[in-house]
Chain A
Amino acid sequence: MKFKKLTAIAVSALVAASPLMANELEFPSISYRTGPFGANGAEVADGFSDYMTLLNERDGGIGGVRINAEECETGFNAEKTVECYEATKDSGALVYTPLSTAATYQLIPRVTADQIPLLSMGYGRTSVSNGDVFPYVFNFPANYWTGASVIVNHLLDINGGSLEGKTIALAFHNSAFGKEPIRTLEALGEIYGFDLTLLPIDSPGQEQKSQWLQVRREKPDYVLLWGWGVMNQVAIQEAANIRFPMENLIGVWWSGSDNDVIPAGDASNGYKAVTFHNVGTDFPVFDDIQQYVVDAGLAAGTGENVGTILYNRGLYQAAILAEAVKVAQARSGVADITAEMMRDGMENLVINDEIMEAVGLKGFGPNFTVSCADHGGPGLGAIQQWDAASQSWSLITDFIEPDMEVIQPLIDADSAAYAAENGIETGRCN
């Protein structure tokens, strides 16, 4: 009897999971609020969700169609990501933002087969910026390779234009995410004459004693940190323990959040990270978020993350996607767009001051345009620095351009290899 009951529940549950087509813009939010990376994942998910809630509450959605950004929890786990994707893809999903490089690799072939766009903003496979080979995958406005190049350009700046004979160590999460920048840094090292030392750190990264011992012994001039979640906190603490100068420790944008620096207290003062969007809450959109979302009790999560770095990133992601929806609606003349129209909107997206001002985010991120061939944008990045006394980040540089002459050949080579391996016909954009 018990078994029968259980089976009945099982069947009805799985039937209930099968989606219905609704008259809404579906933004399935594949997020993770649990697991070793949950603290960071929750902030991004909050930002994304709050902006979508704001659009629903203030404007009644986009172009009069309400948004449904239901979350699906993955715990940063590959199997659960597949489950979430399969559960949501037939609901009219417009775009996926999995916030995990490993998950992005898994989803690239799937979204291409199912013809649903995917945006990996500042993560994922870098060579997807070649839109000719990856028609459904986007990674504007910045990616790991441009991020690495921006950091090197910043180091060139503060070293009077030369890194000859310097050593740079890369402490990276030993996964697809952490390995991405190695190729670019090697290429840049040959050009600018610095030595690159690799310090792989196994996930989730709680144990890093030996790597920092090596840093202490070899005394590299700079350490780049390519970490996520708990790995960042541990790395910054370990760097402080060996008295490594904080201003010489530079993180990627996933290693530059409030969660990462606060545990080390004053010791983390001066820590730097690259970013592709602005910091703080000094933008008009945050007033609206306060009024329509937080005060109305509709904030996602605990509602305490508003204005943190990762919250801003989730919000930026949502804002850019909302603009892409508007482009798609204008181009197709349909308000309730399909995934294919969304793809077209993303491919013709233009972000300029006028648009950013209209949504209350003037100066929040750089201007960029997306095209059929270029899904990656210009890859501008700025350097942010942590001030432990005031507990705040500030941008210490303008948005710096990466070395596209170095990166573009790498992108072309990697995407060509992918196209050959998977038999993809190119020439779509000519």
Chain B
Amino acid sequence: MLYREAGDYKKSYAEDSQTFPLKLDRWAYYALLAVAFLVVPFVINDYWASAVLIPFLIWSIASLGLNILTGYCGQVSLGTGGFMAVGAYASYKLMTSFPDLNIMIIVLLSGAITAAVGVVFGLPSLRIKGFYLAVATLAAQFFLVWLFNKVEWFYNYSASGQISSPTRSMFGFEVTGPTASASAKYLFCLVLVVGLAWVARNLTRGRIGRSWMAIRDMDIAAEIIGVNPLKTKLTAFAVSSFFVGVAGALMFAVYLGAVDVGDTFGIQKSFLVLFMIIIGGLGSILGSFIGAAFLVVMPVLLKNVMVGMLGWPSDMSSYLELVIIGFLIMLTLILEPHGVAQLWRVTKQKLRLWPFPH
């Protein structure tokens, strides 16, 4: 009754094709942005920032990236962790080689470097598909982690092979390093998330996104109607790796501050991102966020309920957490195989008709 198109007149093509055609959705979106930008930075503390919001934002970027490649273009990748490592090490090398370079530029350049690496590892996708491509990208994962462990230049010849992020600031506020304030780190990530989500949304509904989806749905048919598979697949790899690289750079510089490549960017991270997009919804921007929230925020929430509220031992709650998350994943996928985003789509459809479904 409330949630409907009726009365919401569109007077131009631009209005007609906007992301949120319903007034209610639009308002909700603007309200969310307003809260995220104007309220949260003033109430956030270190725990909320470092344990909940910053990881959520960073993993959202990573899952947006993989969703572009896997969800929109249909190329399965298990190299996400390795590509995140490229972003992290690129930002470390840039930070230490050019101390005066603005941190925003460093993060975006790290994304660009990762995009270049991603294109190289995307080349096999022209010959192989499906599981075989997954294995090829798996090779990228292991090769990249090995490379950053092996070649000392990448970690500036430090004794331990760890990289630590120096302090860098923007507009006079520190955004990396141990003394950076929670709100500065949060806002820095938030700006990137909003910007990149906007880019992703507009790429995926334009010409490039349509060519990706054409390749995903049937590559031979796409080729016949004039979609160039080389260009399409490689742009998907490039854009996806750019996103993933930015996530890796933020993970290292803003979130963790110090990184051990095998521990932080191991194969389990590749799977984590893949699970995020499968649970959230393949080929959905909203799904990327939902998936990230499901797998990053939910464990923290469960831990706080079990240890903080119920007072259970922390090791038992850690095991239970795995059980509960596993159960919820199965439940979600059984009830809605297309991910939580599809659940939301169905709910919206029902809401439009409510209370007169016929």
Chain A residues close to B by CB (< 8 Å): 9-10, 12-14, 16-18, 31, 33-34, 38, 42, 71-73, 75, 77-79, 82-83, 86-87, 89-90, 101-102, 105-106, 108-110, 112-114, 125-127, 174-177, 179-180, 182-183, 200, 202-203, 414, 417, 421-422
Contact B160 A73 (CB under 8 A): no
B325 at the interface (CB under 8 A from A): no
Contact B315 A414 (CB under 8 A): no
The chain A residue with its CB closest to the CB of B319 is A34
For A82, what are the chain B residues with a Cβ–Cβ distance below 8 Å?
50-51, 255-256
Contact of A79 among B158, B167, B256 (CB under 8 A): B256
B201 to chain A, nearest CB (A): 23
Q: How far is the CA of A90 from the CA of B346 in the complex (A)?
A: 44
Given known contacts A16-B304, A82-B50, A203-B266, A102 and B260 CB-to-CB distance under 8 angstroms: yes
Q: How far is the CA of A207 from the CA of B46 in the complex (A)?
A: 39
**Could you tell me how many residues of chain B have their Cβ less than 8 Å away from some Cβ of chain A?**
45
* Per-position binary interface string of chain B over residues 47-82, scored 1 when its CB falls under 8 Å from any chain A CB and 0 otherwise: 110111001000000000000000000000000000
Q: How far is the CA of A90 from the CA of B47 in the complex (A)?
A: 10
For B158, what are the chain A residues with a Cβ–Cβ distance below 8 Å?
417
Contact B314 A200 (CB under 8 A): no
For A77, what are the chain B residues with a Cβ–Cβ distance below 8 Å?
263
Contact B301 A14 (CB under 8 A): yes
Q: How far is the CA of A182 from the CA of B161 in the complex (A)?
A: 11
For A72, what are the chain B residues with a Cβ–Cβ distance below 8 Å?
307, 314
Interface of A is mostly: helix
Contact A79 B55 (CB under 8 A): yes
Q: How far is the CA of A125 from the CA of B258 in the complex (A)?
A: 12
For A73, what are the chain B residues with a Cβ–Cβ distance below 8 Å?
314-315, 317-318
Given known contacts A13-B304, A125-B160, A75 and B258 CB-to-CB distance under 8 angstroms: no
* Per-position binary interface string of chain B over residues 85-121, scored 1 when its CB falls under 8 Å from any chain A CB and 0 otherwise: 0000000000010000000000000000000000000
Contact A17 B47 (CB under 8 A): yes
If A14-B48, A176-B161 are given as contacts, then 11 extra A-B residue pairs at C-beta distance below 8 Å, sorted by A number, are A33-B318, A42-B315, A71-B314, A71-B315, A72-B314, A78-B259, A83-B51, A101-B160, A105-B160, A105-B164, A179-B160
For B315, what are the chain A residues with a Cβ–Cβ distance below 8 Å?
31, 33-34, 38, 42, 71, 73
Contact B256 A78 (CB under 8 A): yes
Q: How far is the CA of A34 from the CA of B320 in the complex (A)?
A: 11
B124 at the interface (CB under 8 A from A): no
Contact B304 A113 (CB under 8 A): no
B257 at the interface (CB under 8 A from A): yes
For A105, what are the chain B residues with a Cβ–Cβ distance below 8 Å?
160, 162, 164, 258, 260
Q: How far is the CA of A414 from the CA of B160 in the complex (A)?
A: 10
The chain A residue with its CB closest to the CB of B318 is A73
Contact B263 A78 (CB under 8 A): yes
B159 at the interface (CB under 8 A from A): yes
For B260, what are the chain A residues with a Cβ–Cβ distance below 8 Å?
78, 102, 105, 175-176
B12 at the interface (CB under 8 A from A): no
For A417, what are the chain B residues with a Cβ–Cβ distance below 8 Å?
158
Q: Which 5 pairs between the two chains have the least Cβ-Cβ distance?
A: A33-B315, A109-B178, A176-B160, A113-B178, A73-B314
B322 to chain A, nearest CB (A): 8
Contact B309 A12 (CB under 8 A): yes
* Per-position binary interface string of chain B over residues 152-172, scored 1 when its CB falls under 8 Å from any chain A CB and 0 otherwise: 000000111110101100000
12 A-B pairs (CB sep. < 8 Å): A13-B308, A14-B52, A17-B47, A33-B318, A86-B46, A86-B50, A86-B51, A105-B258, A109-B164, A113-B179, A179-B159, A200-B149
Contact B160 A110 (CB under 8 A): no
For A75, what are the chain B residues with a Cβ–Cβ distance below 8 Å?
318
B124 to chain A, nearest CB (A): 23
Q: How far is the CA of A77 from the CA of B317 in the complex (A)?
A: 15
For A176, what are the chain B residues with a Cβ–Cβ distance below 8 Å?
160-162, 260
Contact of A109 among B258, B304, B317, B318 (CB under 8 A): B258
For B264, what are the chain A residues with a Cβ–Cβ distance below 8 Å?
78
Contact A110 B257 (CB under 8 A): yes
Contact B160 A180 (CB under 8 A): yes
Given known contacts A75-B318, A101-B160, A422-B166, A16 and B308 CB-to-CB distance under 8 angstroms: yes
Q: How far is the CA of A16 from the CA of B304 in the complex (A)?
A: 8
B262 at the interface (CB under 8 A from A): yes
Q: How far is the CA of A75 from the CA of B167 in the complex (A)?
A: 28
Given known contacts A126-B159, A179-B160, A421-B166, A106 and B256 CB-to-CB distance under 8 angstroms: yes
For A183, what are the chain B residues with a Cβ–Cβ distance below 8 Å?
159
Q: How far is the CA of A83 from the CA of B50 in the complex (A)?
A: 7
For A10, what are the chain B residues with a Cβ–Cβ distance below 8 Å?
301
Q: How far is the CA of A180 from the CA of B159 in the complex (A)?
A: 6
Contact of B47 among A31, A42, A71, A86 (CB under 8 A): A86
